[in-house]
Structure 1
Protein backbone atom coordinates (compact mmCIF):
# COMPACT_ATOMS: atom_id res chain seq x y z
CA UNK A 1 0.00 0.00 0.00
CA UNK A 2 1.14 3.54 -0.73
CA UNK A 3 2.07 5.60 2.31
CA UNK A 4 1.67 9.35 2.16
CA UNK A 5 4.30 11.36 4.02
CA UNK A 6 3.06 14.03 6.42
CA UNK A 7 4.81 17.24 5.37
CA UNK A 8 3.08 20.12 7.14
CA UNK A 9 5.75 22.78 6.58
CA UNK A 10 6.32 22.01 2.91
CA UNK A 11 2.55 21.86 2.38
CA UNK A 12 1.98 25.14 4.19
CA UNK A 13 4.76 26.79 2.21
CA UNK A 14 3.37 25.48 -1.06
CA UNK A 15 -0.13 26.66 -0.19
CA UNK A 16 1.14 30.12 0.69
CA UNK A 17 3.06 30.35 -2.59
CA UNK A 18 0.04 29.24 -4.63
CA UNK A 19 -2.14 31.80 -2.85
CA UNK A 20 0.39 34.60 -3.37
CA UNK A 21 0.84 33.67 -7.05
CA UNK A 22 -2.94 33.67 -7.55
CA UNK A 23 -3.32 37.10 -5.96
CA UNK A 24 -0.36 38.48 -7.92
CA UNK A 25 -1.74 37.21 -11.24
CA UNK A 26 -5.13 38.74 -10.49
CA UNK A 27 -3.57 42.04 -9.38
CA UNK A 28 -1.09 42.33 -12.26
CA UNK A 29 -2.95 40.77 -15.19
CA UNK A 30 -6.54 40.59 -13.97
CA UNK A 31 -6.51 36.86 -14.70
CA UNK A 32 -7.52 33.78 -12.74
CA UNK A 33 -4.83 31.25 -11.88
CA UNK A 34 -6.42 28.21 -13.52
CA UNK A 35 -3.47 26.04 -14.52
CA UNK A 36 -5.24 24.07 -17.25
CA UNK A 37 -6.69 27.21 -18.82
CA UNK A 38 -3.29 28.89 -18.71
CA UNK A 39 -1.63 25.89 -20.35
CA UNK A 40 -4.36 25.51 -22.97
CA UNK A 41 -4.06 29.21 -23.84
CA UNK A 42 -0.37 28.74 -24.65
CA UNK A 43 -1.39 26.64 -27.64
CA UNK A 44 -4.23 28.93 -28.80
CA UNK A 45 -3.28 32.47 -27.77
CA UNK A 46 -5.44 35.37 -28.86
CA UNK A 47 -2.42 37.73 -28.99
CA UNK A 48 1.27 37.90 -28.12
CA UNK A 49 0.54 39.60 -24.80
CA UNK A 50 -1.93 36.80 -23.98
CA UNK A 51 0.71 34.20 -24.83
CA UNK A 52 3.52 35.98 -22.95
CA UNK A 53 1.88 36.12 -19.51
CA UNK A 54 0.86 32.48 -19.88
CA UNK A 55 4.42 31.52 -20.82
CA UNK A 56 5.79 33.35 -17.77
CA UNK A 57 3.38 31.52 -15.43
CA UNK A 58 4.20 28.09 -16.93
CA UNK A 59 7.95 28.87 -16.82
CA UNK A 60 7.54 29.73 -13.13
CA UNK A 61 5.79 26.40 -12.49
CA UNK A 62 8.59 24.53 -14.25
CA UNK A 63 11.30 26.52 -12.43
CA UNK A 64 9.82 25.77 -8.99
CA UNK A 65 11.93 22.66 -8.34
CA UNK A 66 15.06 24.57 -9.33
CA UNK A 67 14.28 27.21 -6.71
CA UNK A 68 13.87 24.46 -4.11
CA UNK A 69 17.25 23.07 -5.16
CA UNK A 70 18.86 26.50 -4.69
CA UNK A 71 17.62 26.62 -1.08
CA UNK A 72 18.09 22.96 -0.11
CA UNK A 73 20.94 21.80 -2.32
CA UNK A 74 18.96 18.92 -3.80
CA UNK A 75 16.08 18.42 -6.21
CA UNK A 76 12.74 17.58 -4.61
CA UNK A 77 12.06 13.85 -4.63
CA UNK A 78 9.24 12.78 -6.90
CA UNK A 79 7.86 9.29 -6.50
CA UNK A 80 5.30 7.93 -8.92
CA UNK A 81 4.09 4.62 -7.47
CA UNK A 82 1.92 3.68 -10.47
CA UNK A 83 2.61 2.50 -13.99
CA UNK A 84 2.82 4.70 -17.05
CA UNK A 85 -0.48 3.21 -18.22
CA UNK A 86 -2.16 4.33 -14.99
CA UNK A 87 -0.69 7.82 -15.41
CA UNK A 88 -2.08 8.05 -18.95
CA UNK A 89 -5.51 6.83 -17.84
CA UNK A 90 -5.48 9.25 -14.89
CA UNK A 91 -4.44 12.14 -17.14
CA UNK A 92 -7.27 11.34 -19.53
CA UNK A 93 -9.81 11.22 -16.69
CA UNK A 94 -8.54 14.54 -15.31
CA UNK A 95 -8.73 16.08 -18.79
CA UNK A 96 -12.35 14.97 -19.17
CA UNK A 97 -13.18 16.29 -15.69
CA UNK A 98 -11.54 19.65 -16.38
CA UNK A 99 -13.50 19.95 -19.62
CA UNK A 100 -16.86 19.09 -18.10
CA UNK A 101 -16.14 21.01 -14.88
CA UNK A 102 -15.20 24.18 -16.71
CA UNK A 103 -11.86 24.44 -14.94
CA UNK A 104 -9.38 22.75 -12.64
CA UNK A 105 -8.68 22.66 -8.94
CA UNK A 106 -6.51 25.76 -9.07
CA UNK A 107 -9.10 27.83 -10.91
CA UNK A 108 -12.12 26.64 -8.94
CA UNK A 109 -10.53 25.57 -5.65
CA UNK A 110 -8.20 28.51 -5.10
CA UNK A 111 -9.56 31.44 -7.10
CA UNK A 112 -13.24 30.53 -7.36
CA UNK A 113 -13.61 29.65 -3.69
CA UNK A 114 -11.88 32.91 -2.73
CA UNK A 115 -14.45 34.82 -4.81
CA UNK A 116 -17.26 32.78 -3.19
CA UNK A 117 -18.41 31.56 -6.60
CA UNK A 118 -21.28 29.05 -6.17
CA UNK A 119 -20.18 27.22 -9.32
CA UNK A 120 -16.65 26.88 -7.97
CA UNK A 121 -17.86 25.75 -4.56
CA UNK A 122 -19.91 22.95 -6.17
CA UNK A 123 -17.00 22.05 -8.47
CA UNK A 124 -14.55 21.89 -5.55
CA UNK A 125 -16.89 19.71 -3.48
CA UNK A 126 -17.26 17.43 -6.50
CA UNK A 127 -13.46 17.24 -6.94
CA UNK A 128 -13.01 16.34 -3.29
CA UNK A 129 -15.69 13.64 -3.31
CA UNK A 130 -14.22 12.13 -6.49
CA UNK A 131 -10.75 12.22 -4.91
CA UNK A 132 -11.89 10.47 -1.72
CA UNK A 133 -13.67 7.76 -3.73
CA UNK A 134 -10.68 7.30 -6.04
CA UNK A 135 -8.17 6.98 -3.19
CA UNK A 136 -10.43 4.51 -1.40
CA UNK A 137 -10.92 2.37 -4.51
CA UNK A 138 -7.26 2.40 -5.53
CA UNK A 139 -5.91 1.70 -2.04
CA UNK A 140 -8.53 -0.66 -0.61
CA UNK A 141 -9.99 -2.47 -3.58
CA UNK A 142 -6.98 -2.63 -5.95
CA UNK A 143 -4.46 -2.65 -3.08
CA UNK A 144 -2.07 -0.19 -4.70
Structure 2
Protein backbone atom coordinates (compact mmCIF):
# COMPACT_ATOMS: atom_id res chain seq x y z
CA UNK A 1 0.00 0.00 0.00
CA UNK A 2 2.81 2.40 0.89
CA UNK A 3 4.52 1.75 -2.45
CA UNK A 4 1.31 2.56 -4.35
CA UNK A 5 0.86 5.82 -2.44
CA UNK A 6 4.49 6.78 -2.97
CA UNK A 7 4.27 5.86 -6.67
CA UNK A 8 1.13 7.95 -7.12
CA UNK A 9 2.76 10.91 -5.40
CA UNK A 10 5.83 10.63 -7.65
CA UNK A 11 3.66 10.45 -10.78
CA UNK A 12 1.76 13.54 -9.65
CA UNK A 13 4.99 15.36 -8.79
CA UNK A 14 6.51 14.59 -12.19
CA UNK A 15 3.35 15.86 -13.94
CA UNK A 16 3.41 19.07 -11.89
CA UNK A 17 7.13 19.64 -12.51
CA UNK A 18 6.79 19.08 -16.25
CA UNK A 19 3.85 21.49 -16.44
CA UNK A 20 5.46 24.11 -14.18
CA UNK A 21 8.87 23.85 -15.83
CA UNK A 22 7.98 23.52 -19.50
CA UNK A 23 4.25 24.17 -19.68
CA UNK A 24 3.75 20.66 -21.06
CA UNK A 25 1.16 18.03 -20.16
CA UNK A 26 2.58 14.66 -19.11
CA UNK A 27 0.65 12.62 -21.68
CA UNK A 28 2.95 9.76 -22.54
CA UNK A 29 1.54 9.17 -26.04
CA UNK A 30 2.08 12.80 -27.01
CA UNK A 31 5.58 12.75 -25.57
CA UNK A 32 6.42 9.52 -27.41
CA UNK A 33 4.94 10.69 -30.74
CA UNK A 34 6.85 13.96 -30.35
CA UNK A 35 10.10 11.97 -30.51
CA UNK A 36 9.49 11.67 -34.27
CA UNK A 37 10.45 15.34 -34.64
CA UNK A 38 14.18 15.86 -33.97
CA UNK A 39 13.69 19.47 -32.84
CA UNK A 40 11.28 18.38 -30.10
CA UNK A 41 13.51 15.74 -28.51
CA UNK A 42 15.47 17.99 -26.14
CA UNK A 43 13.10 17.43 -23.21
CA UNK A 44 11.19 14.34 -24.37
CA UNK A 45 14.19 12.02 -24.47
CA UNK A 46 15.23 12.68 -20.84
CA UNK A 47 11.60 12.32 -19.70
CA UNK A 48 11.17 8.94 -21.43
CA UNK A 49 14.63 7.81 -20.30
CA UNK A 50 13.60 8.65 -16.76
CA UNK A 51 10.53 6.42 -17.05
CA UNK A 52 12.61 3.47 -18.20
CA UNK A 53 15.52 4.31 -15.91
CA UNK A 54 13.23 4.61 -12.90
CA UNK A 55 11.98 1.07 -13.45
CA UNK A 56 15.51 -0.21 -13.88
CA UNK A 57 16.62 1.63 -10.74
CA UNK A 58 13.73 0.17 -8.73
CA UNK A 59 14.59 -3.38 -9.80
CA UNK A 60 18.29 -2.76 -9.11
CA UNK A 61 17.41 -1.52 -5.62
CA UNK A 62 15.56 -4.77 -4.95
CA UNK A 63 11.98 -3.53 -5.21
CA UNK A 64 9.77 -6.58 -5.70
CA UNK A 65 7.66 -6.32 -8.82
CA UNK A 66 4.48 -8.26 -9.43
CA UNK A 67 5.25 -10.96 -12.01
CA UNK A 68 2.98 -11.39 -15.01
CA UNK A 69 2.82 -13.78 -17.91
CA UNK A 70 1.57 -13.54 -21.47
CA UNK A 71 -1.94 -15.03 -21.70
CA UNK A 72 -1.70 -18.51 -23.20
CA UNK A 73 -4.84 -18.25 -25.34
CA UNK A 74 -3.82 -15.14 -27.24
CA UNK A 75 -0.09 -14.95 -26.67
CA UNK A 76 2.10 -12.20 -28.03
CA UNK A 77 -0.14 -11.69 -31.07
CA UNK A 78 -3.08 -10.74 -28.87
CA UNK A 79 -0.88 -8.33 -26.93
CA UNK A 80 0.32 -6.75 -30.19
CA UNK A 81 -3.27 -6.36 -31.39
CA UNK A 82 -4.25 -4.83 -28.05
CA UNK A 83 -1.35 -2.38 -28.33
CA UNK A 84 -2.42 -1.34 -31.83
CA UNK A 85 -6.00 -0.82 -30.65
CA UNK A 86 -4.80 1.30 -27.74
CA UNK A 87 -2.70 3.35 -30.16
CA UNK A 88 -5.68 3.86 -32.45
CA UNK A 89 -7.84 4.87 -29.48
CA UNK A 90 -5.17 7.29 -28.36
CA UNK A 91 -5.22 8.98 -31.75
CA UNK A 92 -9.04 9.05 -31.89
CA UNK A 93 -9.35 10.30 -28.31
CA UNK A 94 -6.77 13.04 -28.78
CA UNK A 95 -4.71 11.74 -25.87
CA UNK A 96 -3.94 8.76 -23.71
CA UNK A 97 -4.91 7.57 -20.26
CA UNK A 98 -2.00 9.37 -18.62
CA UNK A 99 -2.70 12.68 -20.32
CA UNK A 100 -6.45 12.59 -19.73
CA UNK A 101 -6.51 10.63 -16.47
CA UNK A 102 -3.68 12.28 -14.58
CA UNK A 103 -3.30 15.74 -16.06
CA UNK A 104 -6.69 16.40 -17.64
CA UNK A 105 -8.74 15.42 -14.61
CA UNK A 106 -6.45 17.44 -12.35
CA UNK A 107 -7.20 20.48 -14.54
CA UNK A 108 -10.95 19.70 -14.39
CA UNK A 109 -11.12 19.28 -18.17
CA UNK A 110 -14.60 18.14 -19.32
CA UNK A 111 -13.04 16.48 -22.38
CA UNK A 112 -10.72 14.47 -20.14
CA UNK A 113 -13.60 13.46 -17.88
CA UNK A 114 -15.48 12.17 -20.94
CA UNK A 115 -12.36 10.36 -22.19
CA UNK A 116 -11.65 8.69 -18.83
CA UNK A 117 -15.29 7.64 -18.47
CA UNK A 118 -15.08 6.11 -21.96
CA UNK A 119 -11.81 4.28 -21.12
CA UNK A 120 -13.30 2.86 -17.94
CA UNK A 121 -16.61 1.80 -19.48
CA UNK A 122 -14.90 0.20 -22.49
CA UNK A 123 -12.47 -1.64 -20.20
CA UNK A 124 -15.27 -2.93 -17.99
CA UNK A 125 -17.28 -4.04 -21.04
CA UNK A 126 -14.28 -5.84 -22.56
CA UNK A 127 -13.43 -7.55 -19.27
CA UNK A 128 -17.03 -8.66 -18.82
CA UNK A 129 -17.42 -9.93 -22.40
CA UNK A 130 -14.04 -11.66 -22.56
CA UNK A 131 -13.95 -13.06 -19.03
CA UNK A 132 -12.85 -16.65 -19.29
CA UNK A 133 -12.51 -16.57 -23.09
CA UNK A 134 -8.79 -15.78 -22.96
CA UNK A 135 -7.70 -18.08 -20.15
1:37 counterpart residue number: 30
Counting only pairs closer than 5 Å after superposition, residues 15-30 of structure 1 correspond to structure 2 as 15-30=8-23
- Give the gaps of 5 or more residues in structure 2: none
| C-alpha RMSD of matched pairs (Å) | 1.7
In the superposition, the TM-score normalised over structure 1's length comes to 0.83
1:65–1:76 contact (8 Å) kept in structure 2: no
In the TM superposition, what whole-angstrom CA distance separates every residue of 1:67-117 from its partner, at most 9, and x where no partner exists? 212432x67354233210111110011011101100001100000000001
1:4 counterpart residue number: none
1:35–1:104 contact (8 Å) kept in structure 2: yes
1:64 and 2:54 are equivalent in the alignment: yes
Output the CA distance in 1 between the equivalents of 2:76 and 2:134: 17
1:90 counterpart residue number: 82
SS in 1 for 2:46: helix
In the superposition, the TM-score normalised over structure 2's length comes to 0.88
Counting only pairs closer than 5 Å after superposition, residues 1-144 of structure 1 correspond to structure 2 as 8-45=1-38, 47=39, 50-72=40-62, 76-82=65-71, 83-140=75-132, 142-144=133-135
Aligned length in residues: 132
Output the CA distance in 1 between the equivalents of 2:65 and 2:134: 27
Output the CA distance in 2 between the equivalents of 1:71 and 1:119: 39
Output the CA distance in 1 between the equivalents of 2:37 and 2:42: 12
2:70–2:76 contact (8 Å) kept in structure 1: no
Q: Following TM superposition, by how much is the alpha carbon of 1:64 offset from its aligned partner in structure 2, in angstroms?
A: 1.7
